[in-house]
Structure 1
Amino acid sequence: MTEPTTLITGGAGFVGCNLAHRLLAQGRRVRVLDNLSRPGVEQNLQWLRQQHGKLLEFVLADVRDAAAVNQAVNGAQQVFHFAAQVAVTTSLENPREDFEVNALGTFNVLEAARARPVAPAVFLTSTNKVYGGLEDLELSVQGQRYLPVDAGVAASGIGEQRPLDFHSPYGCSKGTADQYVVDYARSYGMTTLVFRMSCIYGPRQFGTEDQGWVAHFILRALRGERITLYGDGMQVRDVLYVDDLVDAFLLAEQNAQRLKGRAFNMGGGPRNAISLQDLLDRIEQLHGQRPAIAHDAWRTGDQRYYVSDTSSFQRETGWQPKVGATEGIGLLFDWLAARHAQRGAVAAANATAAVAAGAH
């Protein structure tokens, strides 16, 4: 009899490799399916292999390949489906690819799970973008942040009762995936659960301008590069440290039968809400100098305010985020700064070696 396995699609990515590491450290077998298309993820895969050896199984494949997905799901007791196209900007440039990865890829995972004699539980990471631009939310400016005029929303954040309003091809494709996962619990009795995620950050994140903005801002600052703010920089998000997210995943797994068919908003909540300007202030504290800034126009679907109301998941599981934004940003800064220094040292050594070789 084969040992129980957890499948993580997109498992070499930032969130996936952090979950894989936690499971593997517990002695659990993990199968990672990833197409390794995102910059930096091969480093995450190498790290997992170095840390955990044969407990880790890797499948080089794409979720758009239904046959490969079906084979990868075989023998899995649960599936954490993280593989996705993750950027609004990319979805606007190539909506067909966005749809195929996010909507069709999720459908492939669900159908592969449904085809098993005993369907594994399926956990999907969705997005706050399923709630659209939140244009009806009346906001005021307080300091360098937008805040809701409604005191209840300001205190608690955006709850799951908020109507869905898919905005941008990315919002549509992730929203489609979100609703398929919810419905497979209703239509087929499968154990499925959705996390509508806000901004996750932490070690092993290689942020870009389009996704992973906390890491992106820190990386630009460390390299002495200019950061572009789209809009005025007062837009607010709740940030959640990745270890706290992994805790939430494990609680969801433990309570999956009771919670199946539900979608939960997941983020740091009002206590961990920061604006882009707030992050620049924190980077200045950590780095000793303020990053250079450029401004550009607002981007499609960019919510001026989004903070998760996580009270539903907290009531159901007792989960609470443990790492505050100030502490967590410091931890990520230290991790990225150490990598930056190490790479600088390697580059300097290589340059010295090249000069020496040229002297001969």
Structure 2
Amino acid sequence: MKILIAGGYGFIGSTVAERFYKEGNEIYIIDNLSSGDANNVKVKHKFYNLDTSDKKCEEIFKAIAFDMVIYLAECGSINVLEEHPNLDECLSVSGLINILTLSTKFNIKKVLYLSSALVYSDKGSLPHIEEDIVDANSPYGILKTTGEMYCKKWSEIYNLNVVILRVSSAYGPKQKSIDGGNYICEFIERNISEDEVVVYGDGTQTKDYIYIEDVVDAIYKSMSSSFSGVLNISSNEQHSVNEILDLIKDEKPIKSVIYSKDKWWDIKNMQLDNNKAKKILNWNPKYPLKQGIKLTYKWSKEQLEQDKNKISKSNIKDEKKDALFSSKYIPYIENMLGFLVLYFLTSKFSNSMYGDSNFNFSIVYIVLIAIVYGTRQAVISVILSTLLSIFNFLHLGGDIVSFIYEQRHIIQILMNIIVGLAIGYRIDKLNSDINSKDMEISSVKEKYNFLEIIYNETLIVKEELSAQILNSQDVFGKMYKITKELDKLDVEDIFQNAVDIIEEAMKTKTVAIYASGVNSKYLRLVSKSKDSNLNIKGSVKKLDYKNIIEEIKRDGIYINRNLEKGIPMFISPILDESGNDIAYVCVYNVEFNYITLYFENLFKIIVELVKSSLLKAYAYEIAINKERFIKDTRILNDNAFKTIYLSKKRLKEEKNIPYILVKVKSFTSFEELNYNALNVIRDTDYIGAINDGVYIILSNTKAKDYESIVKRLREGNIDTEFIDEGGLIE
């Protein structure tokens, strides 16, 4: 699925992104980086540097068909918002409204809004339940209450599926002390840095702390469930600030603790009841406070070391920069250099600033400076050239009064001023126009780049859809072909054909089917791909895979997202009408390109077709049992047994699935043999009578296993002799 996370680079958002990615989803993040850090997210994702209130968000929704939206965008620092309650109101609320509007417009399946325990007041009994009156006392709590109101109204008016999670004090890796909300991170950072720890209040105030992984698990299960409404996500335990300090001291002694005046907005005691979430989501917090603090402390210590290394490297760079002249001083330096050149020329080529020289060097100097640097430097050049002319006049024996009263001096100075200001103004105007055009071009480029990104992503989606259509190779024809190949009444044939069909459809040669007998503790291999590299067990103990089997029965399919060694990539059950497992279809190795929703659905459809054929075949077998078995026994007659034998032989040749054939040496009666066989023969084995005696087919068994099987058969008073692994029954 395609998941959009608003605020995905933050403390909670980044951890949510990594969890959903590991579960096989495509991750998209909108974040304005006001408090989030792009380095927080290590998994593959697509990022948009936008506010959630930005109109460009609509282009993203148009281009990408998101399945779900998780809204975590907020101010990032609760402390800052409490001190300056007007900072985040516009951003957070308008951004939420924009995302809710777009989610409605583009038919998003589900939206999650992360609220806070601060929506509750400090009045009433604890723990708070979801039905308690919402009466926030702080700006942050009011902001979250407002957000909840918008979510509920959108749900009522537009039928938008929204789940609201009121999270207690979350803590854990990636949280920074500037985020606020609880004291754990701040205390840990100060302790590692060996600074004084400041406690606001007397330390007896309590909060309901919950580790980040438990919060993320609740978010994931909320999005996976059909629930919509409000849930409390908490540990349902109160811990005081002094308890937190004691647990941090276990990691490292605290230098000193200073108790200060408590913050006006902080609630004295808080605890949320999480029983509703436990029941609805089948969720439980797994990390006790002591373990959570230990993990957070370890991460913070490693992070502070990395930050120190970054700071030392940046200091080296800053020293290099400081060694160079700043660019803002360059115009003044070059202006002075020009003035020195002017001084040299006037001294060399004239005895008077304006008298004997046929060429006015000052005008050239002023014009060049004005053209290069504009009005400000032109004014300075005029002043410098004027001072130089006065200096030269005085040096030749003149005085200030004579200089002022000589008309040519005044005319030259005025001409310098006019030329300098005129050219400087014109250059400034040109530079201003150029900068304005550059800003327009930059804005257009930014918009173009954004639209190009959206276009490319739309193109990718289009190509994926085209590939799915092309790869389907005429879905109706394929489904018809599969249906025809599974249109059998022999169970063994269905299993064999199912493997062939799945191999072709899933582009793999690692398919196996395990059968499950009634009340059997084991799964028995009945068919598999003929791949020499496919090394799998002939029988599997159900108890060893209890959790996987429970997940399969609950979700209808198991996908090995964690790539656990020895576990198939896809497993799907075949259940009878009563919900009992008949068999399990497994696909072990699949190319990465084929681990898509399309192939997942195709796999499900094929398994459903196999199930339909199997149930029909089993029903047929039951209907003709009188014709297949010797009367009052489970011993197959001649024709039925030979049919199964030939099927087993074909499976050995085509799929390399072994079997052995043994002959019963002697027996008193079919009834007695039937009774003895029921206790020692597996569900996947067959016993049958033909002209010259009674034979047993031991499925998925090799000759080397015969000795151990003989003992089991003798326990049932059945004495046998080995015939071969695949010889014909004459």
Q: What's the TM-score once normalised by structure 2's chain length?
A: 0.41
| CA deviation vs aligned residue, 1:196-253 (integer Å, no higher than 9, x gap) | 1111112222232733531121011111122221111111111111111111111111
As a proportion of its length, which structure holds more helix? 2
After superposition, where does 1:145-294 map in structure 2 within 5 Å?
Answer: 153=126, 157-208=127-178, 210-255=180-225, 257=226, 259-260=227-228, 262-270=229-237, 273-287=238-252, 289-294=253-258
Distance 1:353 1:102, change over 3 A: closer
| CA deviation vs aligned residue, 1:18-66 (integer Å, no higher than 9, x gap) | 010111223311001111111x613214xx2xxx34xx1000011232x
Whole-Å separation in 1 of the counterparts to 2:211 and 2:94: 29
Q: Residue 300 of structure 2 corresponds to which residue in structure 1?
A: 336
Shift of 1:100: 1.1
Distance 1:352 1:175, change over 3 A: closer
Distance 1:228 1:26, change over 3 A: same
Distance 1:353 1:195, change over 3 A: closer
- Paired residue type of 1:232: D
2:112 paired with 1:123? yes
Q: Residue 51 of structure 2 corresponds to which residue in structure 1?
A: 62
* SS in structure 1 at match of 2:297: helix
- Paired residue type of 1:306: M
Q: Residue 145 of structure 1 corresponds to which residue in structure 2?
A: none
* SS in structure 1 at match of 2:231: strand
Total equivalences in the alignment = 317
Does structure 2 conserve the Cα–Cα contact (< 8 Å) formed by 1:195 and 1:265?
A: yes
Distance 1:114 1:336, change over 3 A: same
Does structure 1 conserve the Cα–Cα contact (< 8 Å) formed by 2:119 and 2:142?
A: yes
- Paired residue type of 1:173: L
Shift of 1:88: 4.6
Whole-Å separation in 2 of the counterparts to 1:344 and 1:198: 32
* SS in structure 1 at match of 2:86: helix
Structure number with bigger Rg: 2
Shift of 1:351: 8.1
Distance 1:353 1:126, change over 3 A: closer
Deviates more, 1:84-93 or 1:310-319: 84-93
Shift of 1:322: 0.8
Deviates more, 1:205-214 or 1:238-247: 205-214
* SS in structure 2 at match of 1:183: helix
* SS in structure 2 at match of 1:306: coil
Distance 1:315 1:339, change over 3 A: same
Whole-Å separation in 2 of the counterparts to 1:182 and 1:95: 23
Structure 2: give runs of 5+ residues left out of the alignment.
Answer: 320-730
What is the aligned counterpart of 1:12 among 9, 13, 33? 9
- Paired residue type of 1:254: S
* SS in structure 1 at match of 2:18: helix
Shift of 1:282: 0.8
Whole-Å separation in 2 of the counterparts to 1:342 and 1:235: 33
Does structure 2 conserve the Cα–Cα contact (< 8 Å) formed by 1:218 and 1:283?
A: yes
- Paired residue type of 2:193: R
As a proportion of its length, which structure holds more strand? 1
Whole-Å separation in 2 of the counterparts to 1:62 and 1:316: 33
Shift of 1:318: 1.5
Structure 1: give runs of 5+ residues left out of the alignment.
Answer: 138-149, 356-360
Shift of 1:15: 0.6
Q: Residue 302 of structure 1 corresponds to which residue in structure 2?
A: 266
Whole-Å separation in 2 of the counterparts to 1:291 and 1:77: 50
Whole-Å separation in 2 of the counterparts to 1:169 and 1:347: 35
Whole-Å separation in 2 of the counterparts to 1:72 and 1:291: 50
Distance 1:353 1:91, change over 3 A: closer
Distance 1:319 1:291, change over 3 A: farther
Q: What's the TM-score once normalised by structure 1's chain length?
A: 0.81
| CA deviation vs aligned residue, 1:136-165 (integer Å, no higher than 9, x gap) | 34xxxxxxxxxxxx6xx3xxx211121111
What's the Cα RMSD here?
A: 2.4
2:266 paired with 1:320? no
Does structure 2 conserve the Cα–Cα contact (< 8 Å) formed by 1:248 and 1:319?
A: yes
Shift of 1:92: 4.1
Shift of 1:296: 2.4
